[in-house]
Structure 1
Amino acid sequence: MPSGHNHYLVALSVIVAIQASYVGLYLALRISGAFALHRRFLIAASAITLSVGIWSMHFIGMLSMGMAAQVDYLVLPTLVSLLLCVLVVGIAVYLASLRSNHLLAVAAGVMGLGIATMHYVGMIALNASARISYDPAYVTGSFLIAVTASGLALWLAFSAARRPPLFLCASFLGCAVSGMHYTAMAGTRFDFSLSGSSAATSFISSDTLAVIVSVVAFAISGIFMLTLVPKRKHSDRDSAGPKDADGNFDDFTDTGFSEPAPAADAAAGAEPPSDSVKLLPIEKNGNRFHIAASDVVSVHANAHYTYVFNGRDDLFCTLSISEIFERLPKPAFYRTHRSYIVNLAHVGQVRKSGDAAVAELDSPVRRSVPISRARVAELRQELAAHQARRHSGVA
């Protein structure tokens, strides 16, 4: 039977879980605004950061227990539990980044069940040292805590109308992961009667090993933060996009396109384009075809590439964002930012974000579009005029 816990290591395990949750969610929130290779890097970094932090929390939690006999951890089950955690957390992060309520529920189930399963797979590593038995009530409780807590944390971070500070979301997820672990351990019984009477002396103490694991987890998070979170020059901040709920500037302006003046936008829409001009050339899976303007929900310029969002997928377009804006019919489309265009018919709401605002798109896959500070009031007027035209039957 366990003879108690080292409270310092218990606190360390919770801190590791919260820190990894913060960095993992921070990176995950930027997935929907990223494209191509950068999007894949963010998904991988968020999954690895979260999974390493969650796994490290469980491992440090195991080291915090005082055992009645020497415990040897089998390497294979330990590695399998880590790989399982990376896989399920990666799937959950990707589904949550799509910002669909239905997929968010699936992501919560995948993450919660994966975290709990990872724990019990990792416990197999102790089978060589002790016979383990579980209380079914505690097992059920640990799974319920993992699923419900993961769901609430993902909902607060990705789907809540007013997202609380990210640190609170990360604290909730980190404490939930820790709570799942210690709930499961409360219902775990160890029988050391079959273990050898002589315990081998370990070359490294549990405290030292726990510190090493935590330092590795912090280092992985720090590396991903330094390499994947964009840095903005101070001179660009006055004209940059909106801040998120934590006061951080989002990566919305790394494009290389200059922002046109409102007069240029009006001139571009002075004459309605013909039906042929309303078609935009796009590419998907190596195939080239055209998309009608009515099927365009938003447009995003990312570096030297432009993507057309149809409500579900991001489709590559060979035109620059300025050329696309000239082809799209006005006033149905509005350029909210030098890197973004939205279809006013698909704008669900405009909400404040930092010192600017974002437009929440009404589409099968939820998407937020930044609005330049100078254009927030103008966009609200355009939305009001668009609603008036719809009610009056004018296209």
Structure 2
Amino acid sequence: MTELTSSFSYNPILVVLSVVVAIQAGYVGISLALLIPGAFANRRRLLIAGSAITLAVGIWSMHFIGMLAITTSVAIDYAVVPTLLSFLICSLVTGVAIYLASLRSQRLMVIAAALMGIGITTMHYVGMAAVHSVFHLTHDPAYVLASIAIAIAASGLALWLAFSADRRPPLFLCAVVLGCAVSGMHYMAMAGTTLHLATAQLANTTSLMSGDILAAIVSVVACSISAVFMLALIPSEAREAHGEHLWRAAHGVPNDPLPEGPHADAPPPDLLQPAEPRLLPGASGPAEPTSTAALLAPILSAGDLLLPIEKNGKRFHIAADDIVSVHSNAHYTYIFNGRDDLFCPLSISDIAARLPEAMFSRIHRGYIVNLVFVVRIKKAGDSGVVELDSPIRRTVPVSRSRLAGFRTELAAFKASQSTASTGHC
């Protein structure tokens, strides 16, 4: 067999293109991932899918373009099955890693980084198997280990920037670092790869499509997918305002701005429809239909305020002490108990009017937080975010108009807690 290491070189234009594709995928992927902790229900799932698919397509495209950048004395044709299999591997591991990291557990973050890094490396070497019809490949074990280490580090960096960084650098800088790291993994692995070509295969030098054209097509497709997810999932203030205006018009609600304070007026009673008969836990038969008045009235049991929630088609109640945060979804809400987002048929205005002001604060038109679970307030542009201490860590946005007041409110609450604890002791 004849080694072709002497003719193993790169097309510099395609090398630069591969890095650019990785950077743009990192930018969009991290942008979407940053929205996951504050999203709920279907939007949360869409953001996880969008971030994972964007990163997977970008990383795979970078590797594929990097392979097309190789210049040898023999044209390289790529087998379809290994090429598609490598993409599926990348999509799967990236999706699982993004989901695990979105749970905001340090242990799961490490597992996600290791899984994503090993998966990206596996994707690379499976994709390399696509050239076996022309070449026989050998890999230097030292370079293989180095590529795995770089892939895990790059994955950990991406997940940390998206979910854990307290002082995050500018997003574009994060994307550049991630794109260069992913590209570095590929070219590190290629540095330890040797191509061997049998002399009997030298006559087979035809290729159906130019590598430059194929690289351009892959780049356009990857960037288009990123653009679709960027435009569809990253919220626009104008689009949100337009959507709220349409909802209010459809329900006959005046288009006045929603007050930020906890005493916002409740929506008209007719917006909350009577609940369907449901089987309550411990009941022998279906419950009677719940009237609007009964639904809006606070339910007291053992001195605790209870709010209605629904899970798996059944209605339960959650105590105020167990509520970590509340997030509005049109005229309904989701109550976060530290682990799950539970559907509640009440509006956020109604919940805010019923929760005790001493313990809960409405920090945004769409969010209420339990002051007991607030760990810190972090600056985020002109506004801020609140980090909540719960089994699944979560951040909640603070509106710019409420930021200063909430800092004072939280400080007073923590001081009163400390005083009460000292007095009790």
TM-score for the superposition, normalised by structure 2: 0.82
Residue equivalent to 1:228: 233
- For these two proteins, the number of residue pairs brought into alignment is 373
Could you say if the C-alpha distance between residues 354 and 195 of structure 1 is closer, same or farther in structure 2, counting changes exceeding 3 Å? farther
C-alpha contact 2:333 2:343 (8 A) present in aligned 1: yes
Query: Counterparts of 2:159 and 2:106 in 1: how far apart (Å)?
Result: 10
Q: Which residue pairs with 1:291 in the alignment?
A: 318
Instruction: Report the RMSD for the aligned CA atoms in angstroms.
Output: 2.4
Question: Which residue of the partner structure matches residue 59 of structure 1?
Answer: 64
Unaligned 5+ runs, structure 1: 238-255
Matching of residues 109-258 of structure 1 within 5 Å: 109-193=114-198, 196-233=201-238
| In structure 2, C-alpha distance between the alignment counterparts of 1:322 and 1:277, rounded to whole Å | 20
Decide whether aligned partners of structure 1 residues 194 and 295 sit closer, same or farther in structure 2, where only a CA change above 3 A counts: farther
Q: Hey, what does 2:375 align to over in structure 1?
A: 348
Which of 311, 334, 338 is the equivalent residue of 1:307?
334
Classify 1:149/1:39 alpha carbon distance in 2 versus 1 (closer, same or farther; 3 Å). same
Query: Which stretch shifts more, 282-291 or 329-338?
Result: 282-291
In the other structure, the counterpart of 1:384 is 411
Aligned residue for 2:263? Answer: 264
Select 1:39's aligned residue among 38, 41, 44: 44
Q: C-alpha separation between the residues in 1 aligned to 2:333 and 2:116?
A: 32
Distance, in Å, in 2 between the alignment partners of 1:363 and 1:149 is: 27
Q: Which runs of 5+ in 2 are unaligned?
A: 243-254, 267-297
Counterpart AA for 1:264: H
Distance of 2:262 and 2:44 partners within structure 1: 34
Q: Find out whether 1:331 has 2:373 as its counterpart.
A: no
Contact 1:273 1:327 in 2 (8 A): no
Mapped partners of 1:168, 1:374: distance in 2:
29
8 Å CA contact 1:258, 1:338 repeated in 2:
no
The separation in 2 between residues aligned to 1:235 and 1:60, in whole angstroms, is 38
How far did 1:42 drift? Answer: 1.6
Contact 1:277 1:327 in 2 (8 A): no
Residue 253 of structure 1: aligned partner: none
Amino acid of the structure 2 residue aligned with 1:44: A
What is the CA–CA distance in structure 1 between the aligned matches of 2:353 and 2:89, rounded to whole Å?
48
**Which amino acid counterpart does residue 354 of structure 1 have in structure 2?**
G
Secondary structure at the counterpart of residue 336 of structure 1: strand
- 2: distance between equivalents of 1:35 and 1:175? 32
Q: Which residue of 1 aligns with 2:32?
A: 27
Report the TM-score, using the length of structure 1 for normalisation: 0.88
Q: Secondary structure at the match of 2:263?
A: helix
Structure-2 change in CA distance of 1:89 and 1:235 (3 Å): closer
Alpha-carbon deviation of 1:93? 1.2
What secondary structure sits across from 2:82 in the alignment?
helix
Q: What SS does structure 1 have at the residue aligned with 2:356?
A: coil
Distance 1:236 1:315 in 2: 25
Report how far residue 78 of structure 1 moved: 0.5
Aligned match of 1:359: 386
Give, as a single letter, the amino acid of the residue that structure 1 aligns with 2:65.
Answer: I
CA distance in 2, matches of 1:257, 1:113: 52
Per the alignment, residue 15 of structure 1 pairs with 20
Aligned to 1:71: 76
| CA–CA distance in structure 1, aligned partners of residues 312 and 130 of structure 2 | 43
Match of 2:92 among 71, 83, 87: 87
- 1:243 maps to none
8 Å CA contact 1:257–1:338 kept in 2: the answer is no
Q: 1:236: Cα distance to partner?
A: 6.2
Which is further off, 59-68 or 39-48? Answer: 39-48
Percent pairwise identity: 59
Contact persistence 2:375–2:388 (CA under 8 A): yes
Structure 1 or 2, whichever has the larger Rg, is: 2
